[in-house]
Amino acid sequence: MADETRTQVADDAEGARPTVHVAGRWLHAASGAVREIIDPADALPFAVVAEGDEKDADLAVAAARRAFDKGPWPRTPVAERAALLRRVAGLLGRDRERIGLLESRDAGKTLEEGRVDVDCVADAFRYFADLVAAEAPGRVVDAGSPTVHSVVVHEPVGVCAMITPWNYPLLQASWKIAPALAAGNTFVVKPSEITPLTTVALVELLLEAGLPEGVANLVTGPGRTVGARLADHPDVDLVSFTGGLASGTEVARAAAATVKKVALELGGKNPNVVFADACATDEGFDTAVDQALNAAFLHSGQVCSAGGRLIVEESLRERFVTELARRAERIRLGRGTEDGVECGPMVSGQQREKTERHVADALAEGAVLRCGGKRPAPTAVRPEAGYFYEPTVLDHCHRAMRVVREEVFGPVLTVETFRTEDEAVALANDTEYGLAGAVWTADAGRARRVAGRLRHGTVWINDFHPYLPQAEWGGFGRSGTGRELGPAGLAEYRETKHVYQNLAPAPVRWFAG
C-alpha cells in the first residue's frame, strides 16, 4: 500500500505543478518560485508546488472581482448553484480514495482519517445545496400600509478570501467554499503552504463540476505574503480564516483597514470533564477512557477541538489516568497508509518542537509524566526522520502551567482534578478560548446543568468530537468570531438587504418649500 502511494504522488514531484489558479487557468507563480511539499512520515519531499506571493494574490483577487461584478455566478438561479454543489459531492465520492490518500500523505493522518474527511466534506457540500434550495427567496415584512411592499433579501457578500491551516486542509477549505458558493460569491483560497494538495484537487473538481471561470481562484504560498495581502486587499469583501491565534489576530488587524467582514476560527483549549458517576460500571469506565484517548490523540492532537485538558473527579483520578496512560502507550504510530497504524506523525518538525517545548516546561513546572514525553525509537514504518512524537499524559497539572493555558496542538493530555460540580465548571471555563468541551456523567440533570454553564461553542455530553453539517461550529472568547456550518455558516457569506417599495408615491411635505 505504501509503495503504491509513493509512486502515484511521486509522479507529481517530477516538476513543479502549476498550482496557482486564476481566471480559469492553472499557472506557475508569477515569480517562478516553487516549494517542496514534505511527507511528515519521512521528512522527504513528494510534490512540488508553485510558491505564490503578493503579485499572484493580486491577480487572483482581480479575477474573483471580475467574476463577481460581471460574471454569471452571483446571478445564477439557486437551483443551479445547488445542483453544482451536489455534483461536487458526487465527484468527491468518485475520487474518495485518491483524495483521501493525498490528505493522508500531506497532513500525516491515517488513510482512514483521510477517507472520513472526504466523506464529511461531501456531506457539507450536500448540506449547503439542500439549505439554499429549500429557502424562500425573501422575507416579506408587514410595513403597516397596503401601499408598501417590503421585503428582506439575502445577497452574496462579494469576493471572499479564505485562509486555511494544515490540520484538516480539505475539510476547512470546504466549510468555507461550500457555503460561499451556495450564496453566490466568488473566492480566492490560500491553503497552508505546507499542505496545499487537496485544496488543489478540490478546485479541480469544482471546475469539472462546471463552475464558471474566475469564480474559484487559488494561490498556493505563505501566510506572510499571500495571506497578508488577501487580508488587506481593498477588493476583498470578506476574509474567513482558520488557524492560530497569533496569525488570526494579524488577519483581523489587516482586515480592519478596509472594514472587511471577518470570520475567525482560532482553535481552543478544550476541557473533557469526567465525573466519577460516568465510570460506575466497567462499561462506562471503558467508554470514558476510550473517548478520552480519542479526544486527546486523534491526529496527534492536531485538532482545534482536541480534548487536551482532562478534568477528572479526584476520587477517580488514579484509576482513570493509570488506564489512560496504559492505553496511550499502545497507540500504534507510523505512516498513515500502513495497515494497523492508528496515528500518523505530526505535521512538521516545527510543530513537534513546539510540543517538546511545552512538555519540557510542564515538567519543569511540576507536572508528572505518566507516559510518552519523547520521540519514539525508529522502526521500519516509523523512520527516524519522520515527525513522530509519543502520546503523552501529564498528571498533576494546574491552571498556572503554560501547557494548560496555551494550545499545544500536539499529542499531549494534561490532567487536572476537581471535587465539586462548581469546581469542575470553573476549571472548564477557566480558559481564554471557548471552542468545545465535553462532560461525562450518568446523571442527566447534572449533564444538562453543566452543559448549560460551559462557555464553549460546542458541548458534548457523553461523547467527544462529533459535529454535524447542520449544526453551527465556532468559538466563544478567543476561539474566534462567526460560525461555520449550519444556517449561520451560510449567513456569514451573505449581505442582508431591505427592499422597500412604495406603491403609491406622494410628497411627504416635511419641508414647506
For position 165 contacting ligand TXE by CB under 6 A, the verdict is yes
Segment interacting with ligand TXE, rule: CB under 6 A, options 41-49, 150-158, 236-244, 278-286: 236-244
For position 9 contacting ligand TXE by CB under 6 A, the verdict is no
For position 242 contacting ligand TXE by CB under 6 A, the verdict is yes
Residues 49 and 35: their CA atoms lie apart, in Å, by 5
Task: Specify the residue, 124 or 425, whose C-beta has the smaller distance to ligand TXE.
Answer: 124
For position 19 contacting ligand TXE by CB under 6 A, the verdict is no
Residue 82 near residue 129, CB atoms below 8 Å: yes
Residue 435 near residue 456, CB atoms below 8 Å: yes
Residue 319 burial (10 A CB sphere; 0-12, 13-18, 19+):
middle
For position 60 contacting ligand TXE by CB under 6 A, the verdict is no
Q: Which of residues 483-512 bind ligand TXE (CB under 6 A)?
A: none
Report in angstroms the alpha-carbon separations of 106 from 48, 114, 198: 12, 10, 8
For position 179 contacting ligand TXE by CB under 6 A, the verdict is no
Residue 80 C-beta: closest distance to ligand TXE, Å: 31
Could you confirm whether 492 is annotated as catalytic? no
For position 300 contacting ligand TXE by CB under 6 A, the verdict is no
User: Residue 30 gets which letter from DSSP?
Assistant: T
For position 227 contacting ligand TXE by CB under 6 A, the verdict is yes
Among 266, 359, 439, 490, binds ligand TXE (CB under 6 A): 266
Task: Specify the residue, 164 or 217, whose C-beta has the smaller distance to ligand TXE.
Answer: 164
Among 173, 251, 403, 485, binds ligand TXE (CB under 6 A): 251
Segment interacting with ligand TXE, rule: CB under 6 A, options 34-42, 246-254, 269-277, 503-511: 246-254
Task: Specify the residue, 158 or 191, whose C-beta has the smaller distance to ligand TXE.
Answer: 191
Selecting among 279, 304, 371, 397, the annotated active-site residue is: 304
Task: Specify the residue, 397 or 436, whose C-beta has the smaller distance to ligand TXE.
Answer: 436
Here's the x/- map for ligand TXE, 371-390, by CB under 6 A: it reads as: --------------------
Residue 467 C-beta: closest distance to ligand TXE, Å: 13
Task: Specify the residue, 103 or 193, whose C-beta has the smaller distance to ligand TXE.
Answer: 193
Selecting among 193, 265, 313, 407, the annotated active-site residue is: 265
For position 304 contacting ligand TXE by CB under 6 A, the verdict is yes
Among 179, 267, 334, 457, binds ligand TXE (CB under 6 A): 267
For position 84 contacting ligand TXE by CB under 6 A, the verdict is no
DSSP 70-91: HSSGGGS-HHHHHHHHHHHHHH
117's grid cell: 474527511
**What is the helix (H) or strand (E) element at residue 498, kind and residue range?**
strand 494-502
Residue 119 near residue 171, CB atoms below 8 Å: no
Mind spelling out the 3-state secondary structure of 166-217?
A: CCCHHHHHHHHHHHHHHCCCEEEEECCCCCCHHHHHHHHHHHHCCCCCCCEE
Give the residue ranges of DSSP H helices in 95-157. 96-107, 111-133
Among 193, 237, 323, 421, binds ligand TXE (CB under 6 A): 193
208's grid cell: 469539472
Residue showing cell 406603491: 503
The b/e string for 219-238 (b: 16+ C-beta within 10 A; e otherwise) is bbbbbebbbbbbbbbebbbb
Could you confirm whether 160 is annotated as catalytic? no
For position 265 contacting ligand TXE by CB under 6 A, the verdict is yes
User: Residue 455 gets which letter from DSSP?
Assistant: -
For position 169 contacting ligand TXE by CB under 6 A, the verdict is no
Here's the x/- map for ligand TXE, 422-441, by CB under 6 A: it reads as: --------------------
Residues 325 and 471: their CA atoms lie apart, in Å, by 33
For position 231 contacting ligand TXE by CB under 6 A, the verdict is yes
Report in angstroms the alpha-carbon separations of 89 from 119, 125, 202, 394, 430: 9, 6, 10, 42, 40
For position 57 contacting ligand TXE by CB under 6 A, the verdict is no
Residues 359 and 214: their CA atoms lie apart, in Å, by 47
Residues 95 and 497: their CA atoms lie apart, in Å, by 39
For position 288 contacting ligand TXE by CB under 6 A, the verdict is no
Give the residue ranges of DSSP H helices in 380-443. 402-405, 421-429
Among 223, 334, 386, 489, binds ligand TXE (CB under 6 A): 223
Segment interacting with ligand TXE, rule: CB under 6 A, options 177-185, 187-195, 283-291, 383-391: 187-195
CB atoms inside a 10 Å sphere around CB 442: 15
Residues 155 and 215: their CA atoms lie apart, in Å, by 16
Segment interacting with ligand TXE, rule: CB under 6 A, options 147-155, 158-166, 331-339, 378-386: 158-166
Residues 456 and 433: their CA atoms lie apart, in Å, by 8
Binding residues with ligand TXE: total (CB under 6 A): 28
Residue 235 near residue 62, CB atoms below 8 Å: yes
Task: Specify the residue, 87 or 358, whose C-beta has the smaller distance to ligand TXE.
Answer: 358
For position 250 contacting ligand TXE by CB under 6 A, the verdict is yes
Give me the residues that bind ligand TXE (CB under 6 A), please. Answer: 163-167, 190, 192-193, 222-224, 227-228, 231, 242-244, 247, 250-251, 265-267, 304, 351, 354, 407, 409
Q: Which residues are identified as catalytic?
A: 265, 304
